């Protein structure tokens, strides 16, 4: 298994993967909290990342750790959101997502794009629940 982080590929030997799998199994299938060398606990979000990485290693899934730039182009933002660039620009014009201009080009903050992606996901989920509720209402009327 390979792990890629900061443009550096780390190869895990089968024995290393086995040690991680045993570590997870010994801790009830999931490590609950990691700590620094001096015993201070890590913040919950960081612990969640480590747990996810360990689970992926145990399940022999590929892992890639990377960072996003502070700002992204409209093409990159559209890709992150799973929509076309023209649709993204429509959302920008409507004020649904913030963007600013650098010269003649629009740029978006990565954190805004990720927050918008979460909001869109929540909207879609709510739409599914609304359809389910409507379906229940129609069934109850008949």
Same-domain status, 48 and 95: no
Domain identity same for 78 and 125: yes
pLDDT at 85: 97
The structure tokens listed for 109 are 């903050």
135 touches 129 (CB < 8 A)? no
pLDDT at 75: 96
Instruction: Check whether residue 26 and residue 75 sit in a common domain.
Output: no
pLDDT digits (tens, 9 = 90+) for 5-17: 555 556 666 677 6
Domain check: are 132 and 82 in the same one?
yes
Residues ≥6 apart with Cβ < 8 Å to 68: 110
Write down the pTM of the prediction.
0.59
Same-domain pairing of 76 and 137? yes
Same domain membership, residue 61 and residue 36: yes
Question: Which CATH number do you get for residue 81?
Answer: 1.10.1660
Q: Quote the CA–CA distance of 95 and 3 in Å, as a whole number.
A: 39
Given pLDDT bands bounded at 50, 70 and 90, which one contains residue 60? confident
What's the structural domain count of the chain?
2
**Which residues 6+ apart lie within 8 Å of 32 measured at CB?**
47
Q: Which of 14, 46, 65 is the last residue of a domain?
A: 65
**Residue 53 · residue 62 · CB < 8 Å:** no
Sheet holding 8-11, edge to edge: 8-11, 2-5, 63-65
Q: What is the pLDDT of residues 78-124, one digit of tens each?
A: 999 999 999 999 999 999 999 999 999 999 999 999 999 999 999 99
């Amino acid at each position: 298994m390979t792990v890629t982080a900061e443009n550096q590929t780390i190869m895990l030997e089968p024995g290393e993967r086995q040690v991680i799998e045993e570590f997870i199994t010994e801790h009830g299938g999931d490590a609950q909290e990691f700590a620094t060398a001096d015993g201070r606990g890590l913040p919950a979000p960081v612990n969640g990342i480590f747990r996810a990485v360990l689970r992926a290693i145990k399940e022999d899934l590929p892992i890639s750790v990377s960072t996003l730039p502070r700002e992204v182009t409209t093409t990159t933002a559209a890709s992150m959101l799973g929509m076309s660039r023209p649709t993204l620009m429509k959302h920008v014009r409507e004020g649904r997502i913030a963007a600013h201009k650098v010269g003649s080009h629009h740029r978006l903050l990565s954190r805004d794009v990720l927050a918008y992606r979460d909001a869109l996901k929540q909207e879609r989920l709510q739409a599914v629940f609304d359809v389910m509720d409507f379906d229940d209402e129609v069934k109850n009327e008949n």
